[in-house]
Amino acid sequence: MHEGLGPGLEGSMAAARWAALRPALEGFVHDARNPLHALMLQLELLRVGPGVTGRRADDMRAQLDRLRGLLETLGEVALPPGPPAVRGPGLEVRVARAVGLLGWTLNRRRIRCARTLEPHTHVACADGETLEFLVGQALWHGLDVAPDGGQLEVLVELRGRDAWLEVRAEPGGAARGPVLPAFVEVARCVGGDAGREAGPTWLRLPAGRAA
């Protein structure tokens, strides 16, 4: 169990992570089919067509690299973490990973994603799973009010002693539901806060320093 989180909150956090992860997994499966089918075609061409080995090998290597990137992105968000480091990647890196995992959903809904990510925005929290949950929730709450064909604006910056993540939909729409209570409660458990009023979804966390 995460330090400072009760069993009820831990269960809510796990349920929220799965609800946010499921569409991303659907996107991963969709994206993974294309390089797999391409590899099957290249293997068949190698079997029946002599003299094209070098070019086909390059094509297959490119598809394998694409698959490896998809798997690494999925694993960073979905798989149970190992022992937490004293300082993990900056908040801007976690946002970039989460946006990459949302690529299929963004493309399907034709939503552009504009990012302003201040580098080396570290958070005073060593629990990588908690941070992934909070970043994912901020983005999904932003998508909740973003219209198809619109734009999502993501900001990461340091504001005094706080690391700040803001997600704004343009044009903004009415929220389909309240902010998930676990989103706010987990943020407060690590010394921050989160919310969504009339404007953007925001996440405030205590800033840290890189090790």
Answer with the residue of higher pLDDT: 59 or 94: 94
The share of the chain scoring above pLDDT 70, in percent, equals 61
Whole-structure pTM value: 0.62
pLDDT of residue 158: 93
List the alpha helices (DSSP H) in 49-127. 53-78, 91-101, 103-108
∠146-148-149 over CA atoms, to 5°?
Answer: 105
The mean-pLDDT minimum among 2-11, 79-88, 161-170, 186-195 falls in 79-88
AA letter at 34 = N
Q: What is the DSSP letter of 4?
A: T
Answer with the residue of higher pLDDT: 197 or 158: 158
Residue 106 CB neighbours (<10 A):
18
pLDDT of residue 4: 58
The mean-pLDDT minimum among 89-93, 110-114, 163-167, 177-181 falls in 177-181
Question: What CATH code is carried by the domain that includes residue 131?
Answer: 3.30.565.10
Cα(57)–Cα(80) distance, integer angstroms: 34
Domain region containing 62: 1-211
Band of pLDDT at residue 66, cut at 50, 70 and 90: confident
Answer with the residue of higher pLDDT: 42 or 129: 129
Given a cut of 90, is residue 166 above it in pLDDT? yes
Band of pLDDT at residue 52, cut at 50, 70 and 90: low
Band of pLDDT at residue 194, cut at 50, 70 and 90: very high
pLDDT of residue 159: 92
* DSSP assignment of 116-162: EE-TT--BS---HHHHHHHHHHHHHHHHHHPPTT-EEEEEEEEETTE
Is the Cβ–Cβ distance between 167 and 136 less than 8 Å? no
AA letter at 16 = A
pLDDT of residue 105: 83
Q: What is the DSSP letter of 207?
A: B
pLDDT of residue 114: 92
AA letter at 199 = G
Domain count within the chain: 1
Q: Which residues pair with 151 in a beta bridge?
A: 112, 170
pLDDT tens digit sequence for 98-156: 888 788 888 888 999 999 999 989 898 767 778 888 888 899 888 888 889 999 999 99
- Mean pLDDT estimate for the chain: 77
Is the Cβ–Cβ distance between 96 and 135 less than 8 Å? no
pLDDT tens digit sequence for 13-32: 666 766 666 666 666 666 66
- Taken in order 158, 161, 165, 169, is the CA torsion positive or negative? negative
Cα(62)–Cα(164) distance, integer angstroms: 37
